[in-house]
Amino acid sequence: KQEVTQIPAALSVPEGENLVLNCSFTDSAIYNLQWFRQDPGKGLTSLLLIQSSQREQTSGRLNASLDKSSGRSTLYIAASQPGDSATYLCAVNTGGFKTIFGAGTRLFVKA
Amino acid sequence: NAGVTQTPKFQVLKTGQSMTLQCAQDMNHNSMYWYRQDPGMGLRLIYYSASEGTTDKGEVPNGYNVSRLNKREFSLRLESAAPSQTSVYFCASSKRTGEVLGEKLFFGSGTQLSVL
């Protein structure tokens, strides 16, 4: 059974710091991996989607990498800002319509 | 440019009461989903609809029913609410055509449900 783990559960950093969020999954047979952002009381917003054949995707200050063989993905946030404060979730698609989510990392960027 | 719209945003029920959560998307997406989010856990799939006219069980379907009313709308019904169904419910959609995989999920803003 595919399991997705995100460590740490919470992270606090000073503004301007570069940071890395981690996501690990137990079964390397995935079709894609998505990173989402969730603000309090809001829905999820897709940030980046990496296909299983890709190694990374970039959008602005965000860069997501994927290493299927080791079951890991990282989300790199450059020059963090207070507006980046949110919960970040990763999710893997294992085929069909099943997407497995991690519990998320709650990020707080201090001004 | 509404995307995925869910109603209501908040609801309090007594044990045994019934209710329907409504979801509509305006992106002409084929597939729609209902998830629940509980503290400390990832989102879990309740039901999904691959296309208009079809519905299938997800990971945690017990106690729920769904209806894909048309291409735009996908509702979730709790027939007899239980305290274990206290959660935040999210509706999502994706384009999904044929065997195309790897498309983004688009989420509504959620319904916070409390069952007393």
B42 pLDDT band, cuts 50/70/90, is: confident
Closest residue on chain A to B112 (Cα): A41
Candidates B13, B2, B6; CA nearest to B33 is B6
- Beta-bridge mates of residue A57: A64
Question: Across the interface, which of A34, A43, A97 has its CB nearest the CB of B110?
Answer: A43
Residue A23 distance to chain B (closest CA, Å): 12
Residue B18 distance to chain A (closest CA, Å): 24
Asked whether B46 and B76 are in contact (CB, 8 A), the reply is: yes
**Exposure b/e, A66-81, CB count within 10 A at least 16 = b:** bebeebebbbebeebe
B108–A51 CB contact, under 8 Å: no
CB-based contact, B69 to chain A, within 8 Å: no
B42–A101 CB contact, under 8 Å: yes
pLDDT of residue B1: 64
pLDDT of residue B100: 53
A51–B105 CB contact, under 8 Å: no
pLDDT in tens, chain A (111 residues): 899 999 999 999 999 999 999 999 999 999 899 999 999 888 899 999 998 889 999 999 999 999 999 999 999 999 999 999 999 999 998 877 788 999 999 999 999
Is pLDDT at B2 greater than 80 in this prediction?
no
Higher pLDDT, B96 or B17: B17
A32–B102 CB contact, under 8 Å: yes
Asked whether B22 and B75 are in contact (CB, 8 A), the reply is: yes
Strands B111-115 and B87-94, by their bridges, are: antiparallel
pLDDT of residue A96: 74
**Exposure b/e, A9-20, CB count within 10 A at least 16 = b:** eeeebeeeeebe
Asked whether A83 and A30 are in contact (CB, 8 A), the reply is: no
pLDDT tens for each residue of B50-100: 888 899 999 999 999 999 989 999 999 999 999 999 999 999 999 865 555
CB-based contact, B88 to chain A, within 8 Å: no
B42–A51 CB contact, under 8 Å: no
Residue A100 distance to chain B (closest CA, Å): 7
